[in-house]
Amino acid sequence: MKAICFYFSIHQPFRLKRYRFFDIGNDHYYYDDFANDDIITRIAHSSYIPAAESLLRMIEESKGAFRCALSISGTALEQCEQYVPEFVDLLKKLADTGKVEFLAETYAHSLSSLTDPEEFKAQVKAHDEKLYQLFGVKTQVIRNTEMIYCDELAPQMVAMGYKGAVTEGAKHILGWKSPNYVYSAASAPKLKLLLKNDKFSDDIAFRFSNTEWDAYPLTADKYIDWIANTPPEEQIVNLFMNLEIFGELQRKETGIFHFLEALPRFAKERGIDFITPTEAVQKLKPVGELSIMHPISWADEARDTSAWLGNKLQNEAFDKLYSVAERVRLCDDRRLKQDWNYLQNSDHFFYMSTKHLNDGAVHSHFSPYETPFQAFTNYMNVLADFIVRVEEQYPLSIENEELNSLLTTIRNQAREIETLNKEVTSMRKNLEHYNEEHALRAQAAEGAKTEEKKVEAPAKKAPEKKAPAKKAPAKKASTAKKTVAKK
């Protein structure tokens, strides 16, 4: 039986305010709060909230037959908590149905997987903790930032405990193969791969309201028929897209929500199930291994990482940012760590892309800057101030090797202190236990002495009680004498 795996992503970055060169060293707050509030609130009410309500209705009306997955970045969750908490409440309701799976990803929606395995692991862990804190769920399938994946990442994902990963069904990787199967990673066969079906996903995401499209208008029954008519041996159709497609990129007036809510009814008529990513990797056997030598993503025709790291501006900013990664991880400054997360966001590098200057790609549509050069200048000004703050804690004049040596010594001393503290704590507990036992013994001894006194006291008083009995014969003798005298 064929199955549809729906996965919706939700992400919003913390956008930077206009930060001038003269602000460096004087202003340590980098964010455009007005823009962040305005954008997340607008999109939540036009897209996220009505889409979540549609998903709830689809689950209820299908009696749980409809299932899907959500992937939400940590920065998006933070903004939702701050500006639209009612959407977080809806997400909790979706989680409570047990029919919506939450996927793992990097907390900051960062590109750390491409350069810093330790940072990648730490961010995914932080994201998992955030999901568990808010929704009480644990993740089993990972969706890396921008769906980036390659063979090098698979062993690390398995080591982190993930059973599956979702990524792009790139044509230059698949060749003649179909994305409508489960594959296993060539470098770590325990990791199962779910590949996005570009054609069916883009029919909804980009072509739904295009009146020039030869298949316009797209209806739910027509769409399900297309899926049903795929080769019968194909196991699964993965439909991966942003949630804001519903109501934001495809406006409500296009009928996109009616289309979405009608899908479960027509799928049932055609014998098509809905399945979550974890159910897919558990129930469906992989048909073969898939090797992906170089990182792939969802973006552009190339489906590579050039949307974020394709020019000198992007690479200079990227290298400069991660040059202080180790120092930031070692510090205890909460504000510095928060800024570190927000500055890693992949959107900052996306805004620097020069691709739209040549091919009219979608890069400029999402950018708050007039040009990629303006995006680069603004980001580098912010980054310069950030690095000054990092240097105040760990001077950059100290080489990484020397710093590592010093920090290793500090860590060893900290462990030794911790061990000694544990020993002191243990000795204190033993002393307290000894004192408690000593007090109990003293109390028991005092009680025994008291009992002995109680037993001895009645024995001394016994002779006093018998004294009146000895006087009785004397009285009888006196009476007898009186009787003789009378006679």
Residues 39-48 pLDDT 10s: 999 999 999 9
The whole-number pLDDT of residue 452 equals 67
Residues 262-318 pLDDT 10s: 999 999 999 999 999 999 999 999 999 999 999 999 998 899 999 999 999 999 999
The whole-number pLDDT of residue 456 equals 59
The whole-number pLDDT of residue 483 equals 41
d(CA 333, CA 348): 23
- Looking at residue 145, what DSSP letter applies? G
**Active-site hit among 78, 101, 119, 146:** 146
The DSSP bridge partners found for residue 100 are 68
The whole-number pLDDT of residue 416 equals 77
- Residue 111 Cα to chain centre, angstroms: 16
146 in catalytic set: yes
The whole-number pLDDT of residue 479 equals 44
The whole-number pLDDT of residue 434 equals 79
CB distance 5 to 339 below 8 Å = no
Give the residue ranges of the chain where pLDDT is below 50: 360, 459-462, 465-466, 469-487
Q: Classify residue 300 as left (phi > 0), alpha (psi -120 to 50) or beta.
A: left
d(CA 109, CA 428): 47
d(CA 153, CA 303): 17
* 219 backbone dihedrals φ, ψ, rounded to 5°: -110, 160
d(CA 383, CA 30): 10
The DSSP bridge partners found for residue 10 are 72
The whole-number pLDDT of residue 401 equals 61
How is the chain split among helix, strand and coil, in percent rounded to 5?
60, 10, 30
The DSSP bridge partners found for residue 239 are 6
3-state DSSP assignment of residue 69: strand
d(CA 179, CA 197): 6
The whole-number pLDDT of residue 411 equals 63
The whole-number pLDDT of residue 63 equals 96
| Type and span of the H or E element at 468 | helix 400-486
- Looking at residue 294, what DSSP letter applies? S
